[in-house]
Structure 1
């Protein structure tokens, strides 16, 4: 969707769209309330700035809408499709990877009491597993900060996919010079 289309949405529809990026109602409301934006870059900058003010409660609420790494979303819908695309680097048919992810997810949830969240887009299974193992060594405060950062990265990528710059028509090419 182009920025002008985002500006034209009603408040409820715009907030629903932004909440597909991260289910933090106060953040979505702040992003929508600041419309119109002079550019997509300004929209993204404002969204990032607002996301840096997320509370632990905001992050926990947003995590509820994310499946475990290596699993599919519990319910169909827009965020399920986004999540599936983001986890495309994780092969669910690879039994070894699936077993290691299931084990790591269980240890993470036991250790931190929440789902392991990582920006999976662009990362391989091996990278995700290495990050999971490394993050299991974090103290609670460090891991909470890393989780919030990963959620911000996911939200930023999703927002970039949803609202983009208008596509400018290419400049017309001059007619070729006649051959003499």
Structure 2
């Protein structure tokens, strides 16, 4: 465990003004409820404490909160222009064939028609084929099953992004 005194990114996050910490948390997860829960528990003694708070907050999100969080994620294969985070996370789609890109677009649209939101998966480290296979597998799920899978996937994404926040860059100053 690394304490905030030896973890400069965590120390910066703990000491940053609330508006800056809120903005940094919004970059991690677009759910305002999730960010508020994490802000309410500052300062964190260790990064593990922050990660545990993130997991606990994820478990408490309502369906509406999950929708808000998902709204911050672009469809797989179409990262937000100018957003290095989504481009990096979806790098498994870079360089895939045009056929696979077209298939992912079709699958994304079918998934969105079925569930009313983007297909969400922790894309970090996955190939385009793995993401395609996952959407194929999940499109037959019930809305309730899919909501819990999305909650798990969001938790994974948030964990990666929180790690980056406290280990690499801390809170960015404007």
Structure 2 length as normaliser, TM-score? 0.87
Q: Specify the SS of the correspondent of 1:163.
A: helix
Distance 1:21 1:136 in 2: 26
What does 1:3-152 align with in structure 2 at a 5 Å threshold? 3-73=10-80, 76=82, 80-91=83-94, 94-152=97-155
Deviation at 1:137, TM superposition (A): 1.2
Deviation at 1:106, TM superposition (A): 1.2
Q: Comparing both structures, which one devotes a greater share of its residues to helix?
A: 2
Structure exhibiting the larger radius of gyration computed from Cα positions: 1
Deviation at 1:92, TM superposition (A): 5.3
Higher relative contact order (CA 8 A, sep 6+): 2
Deviation at 1:24, TM superposition (A): 1.1
Q: Mind listing any 5+ residue stretches in structure 2 that lack a counterpart?
A: 1-7, 169-174
Distance 1:143 1:65 in 2: 18
Q: Mind listing any 5+ residue stretches in structure 1 that lack a counterpart?
A: 166-180
Distance 1:36 1:140 in 2: 37
How many residues align? The count is 161
Structure 1 length as normaliser, TM-score? 0.85
Q: Specify the SS of the correspondent of 2:21.
A: helix
